[in-house]
Amino acid sequence: MAHFTTSSSFPYIVLLLLVPLLGSLAAVLLPKKHSETARWVGIGASVVTLGLVIAMTIAFQTTNGGYQFVSQHSWASELGISWISGIDGISLFMVGLTALITPIVLLGASEKKRTKSYVAWMLLLEFACIGSFVSMDLILFFLFFELTLIPSYFLIVGWGGPKRAAAATKFFIYTFAGSTVMLVGILYVAYQHHQQTNQLTFSLLDLMATRYSGVAGVLLLVAFTIGFAIKAPVFPFHTWSPDTYGEAAAGTSMMLAAILAKLGAYGMIRFDLSLFPHASSVVAPVMLTLATIGIIYGAIVACAQKDLKRLVAYSSLAQMGFIVLGTFALSEQSLTGAVFLMLSHGIITAAFFLLIGWIAQRRGTWQLDELKGLQGPAPILAALFTVVMLASIGLPGLAGFVGEYLILIGTFVTHQWWALVATFGVVFAAIYLLWAYQRSFQGKAEGANASVKDLTMAERAIVAPLILLIVLLGVFPKPFLDRITPSVDRTLNQITIVNCNPHLVCGSNLLGGHTGMGTQSEMGK
Amino acid sequence: MIQTAFLMPLFPLIGFVILAFAGRRLGERIAGILATSTVAMSFVFAVIVWVAMEGRAPSNREFTQTLFTWLPVGSLQVKVAFLIDPLSITMCLFVTFISAFIHLYSIGYMKGDRDTVKFFLYLNLFVASMLVLVMANNLVLTFVGWEGVGVCSYWLVSYYYDKESAISAGKKAFVYNRIGDVGLLLAMFLIFSKVGTLDYLSIFTKTSAFTPLVATLIGLALLLAATGKSAQIPLFNWLPGSMEGPTPVSALIHAATMVTAGVYLLCRMNPVLFLSPNAELIIAIIGALTAFVAATIATAQRDIKAVLAYSTISQIGYMVLAVGAGAYVAAIFLMIAHAFYKSLLFLAAGSVSHGLNGERDLGRMGALRKIMPWTSATFIVGWLAIAGVPPLSAFWSKGDVLDNVYRKYPYLWAIGLLTAFLTAYYMTRLYKLTFSGDARYKEVGPDGSPPLHPHESPWVMRIPLLVLAVGAATAGMLNLPFVHNFGLDEFLSPVFDATLYNAHESGSLLWLLAIIDSLVAIAGIVVTFFLWKGRSTYPLLERKFLLKEWYWDDMYDTVIGRPGTKLANFSATTVDVTVIDGAVNGIASGVVRTAKSMRKIQTGQIRQYALILAAGILALLVFVLTRVF
């Protein structure tokens, strides 16, 4: 039953997946001595992917909150599994972020040793991430979500600091354990749907109509959320991340912090809110509390770090707290802000790790005790680091502010006490980042610090897109917000419907409207 | 011509961009001229807009200019739009005027410095941000300017980035401001949750939605914002440290413009403050206390810029007091007059240290009047003006504040008057120690440094001093109490009319209060000359308690700083590693123990698991692809 309902004449999504996958294969198959060729193959594949994403973003219909470019093929229909993928305003910029960061990693944070496999794993990771963001079938999503683990694991274990093997093991076991619980949840969701409709399916749009009793809904939500919370990470599931970000190579840390972390947050928005709208609002206070603790706790612990990469890891914990806060505050501004912050935090963190990687290349260390006064010998590096730092602090006019502000103001409307506490997080970000800047860039540079070379023209060109986006997203976020908001509205509408009609929680009226033809119309233009 | 308003911030912004990308190639001299002329152009357009506004009827002087939509999300629609009205144009006029002359002065002051281009780049960005702050038509855009000036202040305070004290002071300034920012953010959130908009004019038409409690909370949140930016109790102690920045920065940012932004914000939000007498009272108390405490600290400082820094805090205290008394016009009036005489005093102080090889210690000055005639003459104007000697500017502006406070809060009026005496005292002491008495610069310094050879500053620095001296002397004319159809009262009435506390004192009481003010000022000066005759130190009057700013900094360090550091270290080492990660590892090892019996069929090698998993998933995906295509 090869039945096509592709709403777009051009198969963007399939190509977005094929190009990195083929690039990865090509890198593997190249002879061993051609490592530089492999790198350029990787750069080529990832740049083509980026071009495709840009073309797709232009073709994306701004005011349409539904899925676009849907590609649907039946696959293991006897098992209810099908190939359904599509993109809406929430996933659009996640795919864009993935396509943007990968070429920058390969250009600016490549590895000299075993370049071939580094490139191959990177492209496979890009493939898996894009696949996760576009999947509209739960099993398909799970396969891609699990697949991200493999290249991540081999990237962490293959390149980086001396304790990387331990970090990789911890990362693997931790995240794998989380996703196993999720698999149980997925199977139970399909089982429930089968009980209610006598139809076996893993399609997200179909399963969205399934309703659960209060306890079952909450348990399922927890099962899904643990996997996502570990990946994000959300307090208290974060302890793998400082070790991993600290030990992994700069490029790996970029991919993990910028993209994989977003996969966790994305999962909460896409699956938690859509599949369990009622349970989401029940569990919201717990999630908001964990998020708020993460914001404050991450910032406090960041203040005590002596290692730049670990500092960024804890700073990310705080930022992920903001994203989760915006997600579960369930207001239009806060959820739009959460999606926007996922994008901007991805760019900011990638820029951080890229710059820290270059510092490490020059100085052989990223310990704050050993760095000092780099602003003197390397003013451009210092200036760019300052821009990234200020964006992370949330200075208006730069990318970080928009998401943080929308999250806080939206959260204040629905959950003012959590917003009140979280607002103090903005003070801490200034403390630990300015302190880190003072330790590493200010003061009198002596010894090895005094002879640090400033960024080369090539390096400036590599980081330029990130810096430009940090400014653009801060000054003119409208094109991005206009594309995110309609999809956010659709997600929230569903929650409103469920919660405004408590009698419908297990009812069938709602079901009728969301299955069959209703699904098709949602997919169309 | 009022439509040209957007050019005001645009010019210095363009200057910033040019200097950021091509500054080093342009060189120090061209960079200075470019930066100065962009700000001069802003002033020209401020005048053009003002003239155009004067041509309109007073009821028709509000003009909104929308550039583009910034944050559109559902009911929250934030635009980049400017509100041009009598209040914002008043701010623009004096900000651009003083900025232009301080830029000019900086060409001379910063000559030959390591990073002059960077200095002008920051200064231009500062002016652009300050103009955005005052011209914004909504609170969020005001916040953009608010943070913009804050970050410029951070850069400029830590301008000498290899000097530990400077970089710590810059960080301290930013963090203290950030604490205040929480207040502004919370005020915005509260307002948005009640009225669904953040545009000033829309908020003001919906103030009936605020209950007295909400109005009080908003007022206090705005006050917190103002205490951060405008260096008031309890967040005032970042400002003295900011004197580590080059002196033109102290004059422009930390005296004339940025630090008054908090007062501007409170004035702008007057229809909301008006709803809460409680908030107004607390604002007035904070203002009066700050004015007094900072003035006492200023009496004991031994650093020429420190005296002026505490003086600034004290003077802004008067402005906040005026706001609390509902005397918004008086607050703005004092703000303008203060901008003239305080930037004059700072630039004169800068001229002194410029001539003394950067020395700021009063112990190494004295008798500079003859060597620096221009500097000392202009300093004298500033000194007499701030002391409140009639008919110079502070006599009128400070008098206006005190007159308004007298009727509403008589106790606070008494504190204000006492502060006026202290002001005359510490300024006279500063004058005496710097310009008259013994020539202590001829002696070897306390750290064994050689004697200094003072000299007068070049013309490029003297011209701004002269211009500002004229302003400091005559700014009182902006709002003379006996002229009623011309002046700030009249001009600003469309903004404040509905909320102004207008205790029109009878003519005789006004005269009486003016005489009291004058007597206090003259008494302060005379007492100082008497007490400090033939002295260069006076341990009895320069107590350590005052020198150490009432131990305020030490108190914060003991109560917040050190416990905070301990908490952070404890969280990082014990909580995160032992408690949270320990729990995770505990669970993991529990699983391992129960799994030990199954160990024989498993290799225990994670790498192999990963590879098997990878192969499995890849096989599945390949299967998908073959089935589909």
- Cβ-nearest to A442 among B158, B565, B583: B158
Cβ contacts (< 8 Å) between B576 and chain A: which residues? 239, 242, 301
Q: How confident is the model at residue B626 (pLDDT cuts 50, 70, 90)?
A: low
Please say if the pLDDT value at position A82 is more than 90: no
Cα–Cα distance for residue pair B90/B84, rounded to 1 Å: 10
Cα gap A20→B255, rounded to integer Å: 57
Interface touch A332/B74, C-beta < 8 Å: yes
- Per the CB < 8 Å rule, is A438 touching B171? yes
Closest CB to A236 among B565, B580, B611? B580
B174 and A430: CB-CB below 8 Å?
yes
Q: How many CB atoms lie within 10 A of CB B1?
A: 12
Nearest to B224 by CA among B286, B271, B269: B286
**Residue A2: pLDDT band by 50, 70, 90 thresholds?**
very low
- Decide if B386 contacts B427 (C-beta within 8 A): yes
B67 neighbourhood in chain A, CB within 8 Å: none
> How crowded is residue B543: how many other Cβ atoms within 10 Å of its Cβ?
12
| Cβ–Cβ gap B624/A300 under 8 Å | no
- B10 is written with which tokens? 């645009």
Tokens 């997925």 locate to: A186
For residue B191, the model assigns a pLDDT of: 95
Greatest alpha-carbon pair distance for chain B in Å reads 104
A52 pLDDT above the threshold of 80? yes
Written as six digits, the tokens of A42 are: 């990787």
Task: Measure the CA–CA gap between B570 and A82, rounded to whole angstroms.
Answer: 50
Residue of A143, A395, A438 lying closest to B617 (CB–CB): A143
Out of A68-82, A334-348, B113-127, B522-536, pick the least confident: A68-82
* Type of residue at A81: I
In chain A, what residues touch B577 (CB-CB under 8 Å)? 239
pLDDT, one tens digit per residue, over B341-381 is: 999 999 999 999 888 888 888 888 888 888 899 999 999 99
Q: What is the pLDDT of residues B239-296, one digit of tens each?
A: 998 998 899 999 888 888 999 999 999 999 999 999 999 999 999 999 999 999 999 9
Would you say B106 and B119 are in contact if contact means Cβ atoms under 8 Å apart?
yes
Question: Does B168 sit within 8 Å of A438, measured CB to CB?
Answer: yes
Q: Which of B17, B24, B73, B602 to mutate to test the interface with A (most CBs of A within 10 A)?
A: B73
Q: Give the distance from residue A100's alpha carbon to the nearest chain B alpha carbon, in angstroms.
A: 24
Q: Any bridge partners for residue A87, and if so which?
A: A68
Q: Residue B393 in contact with residue B476, Cβ under 8 Å?
A: yes
Eight-class DSSP state of B364: G
DSSP B112-150: T-TTHHHHHHHHHHHHHHHHHHHHBSBHHHHHHHHHHHH
Chain A: nearest CA to B191, how far in angstroms? 10
Residue of B nearest to A398 (CA): B144
d(CA A119, CA A158): 12
Q: What is the largest CA-CA distance in chain A?
A: 74
Residue B49 CA to its chain's centroid (Å): 25
Cβ–Cβ < 8 Å for B362, B429: no
Contact B178 A75 (CB under 8 A): no
A140, B569: Cβ pair inside 8 Å? no
Which tens digit of pLDDT belongs to each residue from B212-242? 999 999 999 999 999 999 999 999 989 998 9
Q: What is the CA radius of gyration of chain A?
A: 22
pLDDT at position A415: 92
* Radius of gyration for the alpha carbons in chain B, expressed in angstroms and rounded: 28
What number is the average pLDDT over the span B10-38? 92
- Confidence band, pLDDT 50/70/90 cuts, at residue A401: very high
Contact call for A426 and B181, based on CB within 8 A: yes
Which of A146, A168, A144 lies closest to A155 in space, CA to CA?
Answer: A168
Which tens digits make up the pLDDT trace of B420-464?
999 999 999 999 999 988 888 888 888 878 888 888 888 888 999
| Cβ of residue B185 closer than 8 Å to a chain A Cβ | yes
Q: Chain A partners of B70 at a C-beta cutoff of 8 Å?
A: 476-478
Query: With contact defined as beta carbons under 8 Å apart, do B277 and B285 qualify?
Result: no
Q: Output the 3-class SS for B303-351.
A: EHHHHHHHHHHHHHHHHHHHHHCCCHHHHHHHHHHHHHHHHHHHHHHHH
> If contacts are CB pairs under 8 Å, which of residues 18-47 in chain B contact chain A?
none
Q: Number of residue pairs across A and B with CB atoms under 8 Å? A: 173
Overall average pLDDT of the A51-75 stretch: 89
**pLDDT tens-digit map of A209-232:** 888 888 888 999 999 999 899 988
CB hemisphere CA count around A14 (13 angstroms): 15
How many Å apart are CA B148 and CA B609, to the nearest integer? 52
Q: What share of chain A is helix, strand, coil (3-state, %, to 5)?
A: 75, 5, 20
Reported confidence tier of residue A523, pLDDT bands at 50, 70, 90: very low
Q: Give the integer Cα–Cα distance in Å for A517 and A520.
A: 5
Angle at A337 between CA A331 and CA A339, to 5 degrees: 105
- Average per-residue pLDDT in chain A? 87
Report residue A315's pLDDT band, with 50, 70 and 90 as the boundaries: very high
Contacts B209 to A, Cβ<8 Å: none
pLDDT digit string, tens, across residues A94-131:
999 999 999 999 999 888 888 889 999 999 999 999 99
DSSP annotation of B61 reads -
Look at residue B497 and give its three-state secondary structure.
coil
**Between chains, do A434 and B182 touch, taking CB under 8 Å as contact?**
no
Please tell me the distance from the alpha carbon of residue B506 to that of residue A279, in angstroms, as a whole number: 69
Instruction: Choose, out of A434, A460, A482, the residue to mutate when testing the contact with B (most B CBs < 10 Å).
Output: A434
Match 């917003």 to its residue by tokens: A419
- The CA distance from B616 to B623, in Å, is 10
| pLDDT, tens only, A151-194 | 999 999 989 888 888 888 888 888 888 888 888 899 889 988 88
- Tell me how many degrees the CA angle B336-B341-B347 measures, rounded to the nearest 5: 125
User: Above 70 in pLDDT, residue A7?
Assistant: no
What is the pLDDT at residue A30?
87
* Angstrom distance (rounded) from CA A138 to CA B377: 81
pLDDT digit string, tens, across residues B563-613: 888 888 888 888 888 888 877 777 777 766 666 655 544 555 666 666 666
Q: Which residues contact B305 (CB under 8 A, 6 or more apart)?
A: B243, B247, B250, B346, B349, B353, B360
Q: What is the rounded distance in angstroms from the CA atom of residue B371 to the CA atom of residue B442?
A: 13
Torsion sign (Cα): B417, B418, B421, B423: negative
**DSSP assignment letter at B3:** G
For chain A, helix (H) and strand (E) counts, in that order, are 24, 2
Q: Is B218 in the A-facing interface, judged by CB distances under 8 Å?
A: no
How much is the mean pLDDT over chain B? 88
Token look-up 């932004």 returns: B261
Distance CA A239, CA B481 (A): 67
Tell if the CB–CB gap between A336 and B73 is shorter than 8 Å: yes
- Residues A423, B186: C-beta atoms closer than 8 Å: yes
The residue with tokens 């635009």 is B79
Chain B residues inside the 8 Å CB shell of A300: 567-568, 571
Question: Would the pLDDT of B467 be above 70?
Answer: yes
pTM: 0.91
Write out the DSSP string of A505-516.
Answer: TT-SHHHHHHST
Nearest by CB to residue B162, choosing from A373, A423, A482, is A373
> Residue holding tokens 């934030």?
B78
Q: Which residue of B has its CA nearest to A145?
A: B617
Rounded Cα distance, B557 and A13, in Å = 57
Selected residues 64-83 of chain B with any CB under 8 Å from a CB in chain A: 68-76
Q: Please give the structure tokens belonging to residue A286.
A: 């717990």
Of A172, A396, A427, the CB nearest to B178: A427
- As a whole-number percent, the residues of chain A with pLDDT over 70 amount to 93
Indicate the range of A315-324, B372-381, B471-480 predicted with least confidence. Answer: B471-480
d(CA B580, CA B590): 15
Look at residue B578 in the predicted model and tell me its pLDDT. Answer: 81
Spell out the residues 6+ positions from residue A318 whose beta carbon is closer than 8 angstroms to its own. Answer: A294, A295, A296, A297, A298, A299, A302, A425, A428, A429
Residue A434: which of B143, B171, B179 has the nearest Cβ?
B171
- In this structure, are strands A81-87 and B63-73 parallel, antiparallel, or unpaired? unpaired
Rounding to the nearest 10 degrees, give the CA dihedral for residues B96, B102, B108, B114: -90
Omega of the bond prior to A236 within 30 degrees of 0, cis? yes
SS3 B211: coil
Min Cα distance A507 → chain B (Å) is 30
Helix B488-496 × helix B86-109 angle, to 10°? 120
CB contact under 8 A, A83 and B76: no
Q: Which amino acid is at B321?
A: L
Record: contact B72-A482, CB cut-off 8 A: yes
d(CA B290, CA B406): 18
B68 has which bridge partners? B80
Q: Between chains, do B580 and A157 touch, taking CB under 8 Å as contact?
A: no
* pLDDT in the model for residue B263: 96
Nearest-neighbour CA in chain B from A62: distance (Å): 14
Which pLDDT tens digit goes with each residue over A454-497?
999 999 999 999 999 999 999 999 999 999 999 999 999 888 77
Interface residue B182 vs chain A (CB under 8 A): yes
The rounded Cα B464 to chain-centroid distance in angstroms is 21
Q: Which of residues 575-614 of B touch A (CB under 8 A)?
A: 575-577, 580-581, 583-584, 588, 606-607, 609-611, 613-614
Measured between CB atoms, which of A154, A169, A419 is closest to B189? A419
How far apart CA A310 and CA B453 sit, in angstroms, is 52
Length of chain A equals 525
What are the b/e assignments for B472-506, b being 16+ CB within 10 Å?
A: bbbbbebbebeeeeebbbebbebbbeebbbeeeee
Amino acid at the residue B296? T
Please tell me the predicted confidence (pLDDT) of residue B476: 85
Give the pLDDT mean for B520-530.
Answer: 92
With beta carbons less than 8 A apart as the criterion, state whether A288 and A232 touch: no
B73 contacts in chain A (CB < 8 Å) = 332-333, 336-337, 406, 410, 481, 485
- B621 with A431: Cβ contact below 8 A: no
Q: What is the 3-state secondary structure (H, E, C) of A416-462?
A: HHHHHHHHCHHHHHHHHHHHHHHHHHCCCCCHHHHHCCCCCHHHHHH
DSSP string for residues in A369-389: TT---TTTT-HHHHHHHHHHH
